[in-house]
Amino acid sequence: MTGPMPDLSPSAAASADPAAGPAREFGAGPPSAFGPTPPWKRALQITGWVVAAFLALLMIAIAWLAVTAPLSQSLKPIAPPSISLMSADRHLIARRGAIIDKPVTIAELPAHVPQAFMAIEDRRFYSHWGVDPRGIARAVWHNIWSDGASQGGSTITQQLAKGVFLSADRTFGRKAREALIAFWLEAWLTKDQILERYLSNVYFGDNVYGLRAASLHYFNRQPELLTIPQAAMLAGLLKAPSRLAPTTNLKGARARAALVTQAMVDAGYISKAERDALPPARLNVHDAPDPTTGTYFADWVLPEARDRAGAVYGAQEVTTTLDWRIQRLAEAAIRRAPLGKAQAALVAMKPDGSVVAMVGGKKYADSAFNRAVQAKRQPGSTFKLFVYLAAFRAGMTPEDMVDDTPITTGTYRPANHGGKYRGRITLRQAFAASSNVAAVRLTQKVGVDAVIKVARDLGVKAPLTEDLSLALGTSEIPLVELAQAYAAVAAGAYPVVAHGLPPEEQGWFDRLMKRQRHFSDDELDMIRDLLSSAANRGTGSAAALRTSTFGKTGTTQDSRDAIFVGYAGGLVTAVWIGNDDNSPLPGGAAGGGVPARIWRGFMAGAINEPVEDVPEETQDSDLVNAIANVTVETGIGNVGVGVDEGGMTVNIGPAQIRLPVDQPPGAPTPTGTTPPRVVPTQPGDDGGP
């Protein structure tokens, strides 16, 4: 049979039999027995692998936590707390025990006592299993949308685990162990037993641990007799025990107690009408004797050390910033100073605010009042730092001129010390000579608000008068705040916050909100120029070291306070002398006298520089007429000698003798000249350099 040959190509085969499906390529192998894996199956496999890996890691983590977490000791009796404060170089500064008492029993307490604590700390305490996911979610939501006030999500069980069985660090590992111990406690103890342990051991401020000790300390009554306002106040203290302790912050403690009673209303424990009828809690403080001794620095740093540790029990060691060697030098410098009946204070810190030495008085055993941080005294001319910084912010320079002449207009008319005026001088000369009228004129020019703004930027929190007298340091400021401000200049950034404990690691939000700002290069160079002139060639020349020295003297009216603040060799130090009753110091003492010499003697040892006498010819020739006082120690007190174009002025105590330049002492008074006269120091004067 003859005819055309059939077309055997794949396309022809496909067209011949449509039902046969798609044709395979020529030369391809046999069809696979397994079809391609669908995408959803592939995704399911990957998810399974991820879950398996996660579970494996979780099991490893649980095994690690079980080994590292102190589960075996979590049910043992709680050891009384104690804190040992150590210097940075591991010397013991002070050891403090705690005020404790017998544990409480929930069944014996009025219902409103545990309710107050649960309302503000853990409202779902009796319904969760040790960790409260709803509470954590609520805290996260609050922290995201709040204005910076953070909220915690820890349960009472977690707080017990953290406080009693773990360290106070904030690492993920510690939080994980805390959760594991919380589950363990919930498994082995009843809810009442957990709450009893918590209330019997938590910190309430004033070195008091446990509800019974706190109830006796603040209200002089057993916890079984606490009223709702009293229970609310105690519950409110747990947020910040030292800061809210009603013995030092009754207003803050009552405000916090009001939040607790409102939380009790929200939780349904009391009605709004009951809350509205509650009177504020009244204190009846019952002090227990402190079983240990202390130091000025220990007293200052201990509240923060306790707050940072939380309610961690057992013996703790807290490392501080204090330098043992430098602290001993500071104490020796104050001990050697010719203070008579006057008191003295010294605070030394690094430019970052780390306090390395603190002396709050001549002798702690005689007076524990810390004059370095608790006393508020007028800073005198040391406050002019802020005036001149405000002038530089306004565009002025050290070479700009200012009138050092009497102010004859307006209601406020300050005078220079001893009535000495130099005419038109540079800002550098005015600062070195500590001219009062120049500082007031600069404040008039830039505005009082601008000066206050600089002071606030540099960390001064004390109230400041809003008038021209502010320029002369009439507002009372703690010495430590003054040291912080000068530390900012040393660091080139502000604000600097004095601290006695190493800074804790901050989250990104805290770092963002609390970041330092930096001086401009020009601003920093100019203010350091002025501080160098004052400390080396001006009123503070008695403090000058071989190392570059920067500082400023301050003396208040009638020599009630004498101060020197400055820095050298990476150390910032402020020294104050005065009487606790604010009476004048004898002999017209000035900041350039005893305080400057205390500062120099201490600093030389602290930065390992030999102490040498300062040559008299250290003053620059172009500043001779700008320098008002050269302080000399005599048997009758400080004698101030001023030289200007018109002659010489001698100050003996509060009196002044003026000698014209062409008239030697005792010579007849030439016609047309002012005779030598004795006048009292001008009222309203800064009182000295």
The domain that holds 456 is classified in CATH as: 3.40.710.10
pLDDT at position 590 is 93
- Report yes or no on 21 lying in a domain: no
Residue 80 belongs to some domain of the structure? no
681 neighbors 656 (Cβ within 8 angstroms) = yes
Segment 451-463 mean pLDDT: 96
**Domain's final residue, options 558, 591, 607:** 607
Helix/strand/coil for 237:
helix
Give the pLDDT of residue 313: 58
Answer yes or no: do 253 and 357 share one domain.
no
Q: Note whether 263 and 370 are same-domain residues.
A: no
How far, CA to CA in Å, does 526 sit from each of 403, 428, 491, 512?
19, 9, 15, 29
Contacts of 97 (CB under 8 A, 6+ apart): 80, 81, 82, 291, 292
Same domain? For 597 and 464 the reply is yes
Last-in-domain residue among 246, 277, 308: 277
Q: What is the mean pLDDT of residues 85-94?
A: 90
CA-closest candidate to residue 265, choices 254, 276, 256, 279: 276
Domain boundary among 277, 306, 321: 277
- In the chain, % of residues over pLDDT 70: 73
H helices of 416-465, in order, are 427-432, 436-446, 448-457
In a domain, 303, yes or no: no
Q: 649: which residues sit within 8 A by CB, 6+ positions away?
A: 418, 419, 420, 640, 641, 642, 643, 656, 657, 658, 659
* pLDDT value at 381 more than 70: yes
Partnered with residue 658 across adjacent β-strands are 649
Position 402: which residue type?
V
Instruction: Of 670, 658, 486, 669, give the one whose Cα is nearest residue 563.
Output: 486
How is residue 468 annotated by DSSP? Answer: G
Instruction: Answer whether the bond into residue 676 is a cis peptide, omega within 30°.
Output: no
Res 513 pLDDT > 70: no
Answer whether residue 487 shows pLDDT above 70.
yes
The answer to whether position 23 is within a domain reads: no
Mean pLDDT (the chain) is: 81
Domain with 363, as residue range(s), is 330-503+514-607
**Span 9-28, average pLDDT:** 48
Tally of domains in the chain? 2
Q: Are residues 374 and 261 in the same domain?
A: no
Give the separation between CA 487 and CA 484, rounded to whole angstroms: 5
- H or E element, residue 95: strand 92-96
H or E element at residue 678: strand 678-680
Q: How far is Cα 177 from Cα 171, in angstroms, rounded to an integer?
A: 10
Is the domain of 477 the same as that of 403? yes
- Token representation of residue 500: 């006695």
Cβ atoms within 10 Å, residue 566? 31
355, 423: one domain = yes
pLDDT for residue 440 is more than 70: yes
> Does this model's pTM top 0.95?
no
- Residue 398's nearest CA partner among 289, 263, 538, 259 is 538
What's the pLDDT score for residue 30?
55
* pLDDT score at 147: 47
Task: Provide the pLDDT for residue 631.
Answer: 30
CATH of residue 189's domain is 1.10.3810.10
Q: Average the pLDDT over each of 148-162, 178-192, 374-388 and give the range with the smallest value.
A: 148-162
pLDDT score for 683: 31
* CA 655 from centroid of its chain's CA atoms: 43
Environment class of residue 149 by beta-carbon count within 10 Å: exposed (0-12), middle (13-18) or buried (19+)? exposed
| One domain, residues 455 and 599 | yes
Q: Dump pLDDT digits (tens) for 611-624.
A: 655 443 333 323 32
Same domain assignment for residues 400 and 536: yes
pLDDT of residue 291: 43
Question: Considering the domain boundaries, does residue 234 fall inside one?
Answer: yes
Q: Is the Cβ–Cβ distance between 459 and 422 less than 8 Å? A: no
d(CA 103, CA 210): 7
Same domain, 366 and 446: yes
Which two three-digit tokens encode residue 85?
């404060």
Q: Are 618 and 545 in contact (CB under 8 A)?
A: no
Residue 662 lies in a domain: no
Residue 579: what pLDDT?
A: 96
With a cut of 80, say whether residue 144 has pLDDT above it: no
Residues in the chain: 689
Q: Is the same domain home to 347 and 452?
A: yes
In this structure, the answer to whether residues 249 and 394 fall within a common structural domain is no
The answer to whether residue 461 sits within a structural domain is yes
Gap between the Cα atoms of 213 and 232, Å rounded = 16
Instruction: Note the pLDDT tens digit of each residue in 104-142.
Output: 999 999 999 999 999 999 999 999 988 877 766 665 565
According to DSSP, the residues that pair with 402 across neighbouring strands are 425
Look at residue 83 and give its three-state secondary structure: strand
**Rounded CA separation 529/307 (Å):** 41
The Cα 86–Cα 315 span in angstroms is 13
The structure tokens listed for 352 are: 């970052």
Identify the top-confidence range among 94-98, 218-222, 616-620. 218-222
In a shared domain, residues 112 and 211: yes
Using CA atoms, how far apart are residues 91 and 357, in angstroms rounded to an integer?
A: 13
d(CA 213, CA 191): 22
Is 470 buried (19+), middle (13-18) or exposed (0-12) by CB count in 10 A?
A: buried
Q: How far is residue 49's CA from residue 51's CA, in Å, rounded to a whole number?
A: 6
The CA-atom distances, in angstroms, between 414 and each of 71, 360, 588 are: 71, 32, 19
Say how far apart CA 477 and CA 503 lie, in whole Å.
24
Written as six digits, the tokens of 139 are 């805290």
Residue type at position 575: V
How many CA within 13 A on the CB side of residue 476? Answer: 10
Residue 55 above 90 pLDDT? no
- List residues bridging with 94 in a β-sheet: 85
> Which tokens belong to 542?
């008695």
Which residues, in sequence order, are CB contacts of 73 under 8 Å at separation 6+? 165
Both structure tokens of 57:
């890691």
Strand partners, 348: 357, 573
In a domain, 164, yes or no: yes
Q: What is the predicted pLDDT for the residue at 149? A: 44
pLDDT tens sequence across 563-611:
999 999 999 999 999 999 999 999 888 999 999 999 999 999 999 987 6
Q: Which of 64-78, 215-229, 318-332, 431-445 is predicted with the least confidence, judged by mean pLDDT? A: 64-78
Rg for the chain, CA atoms, rounded: 36
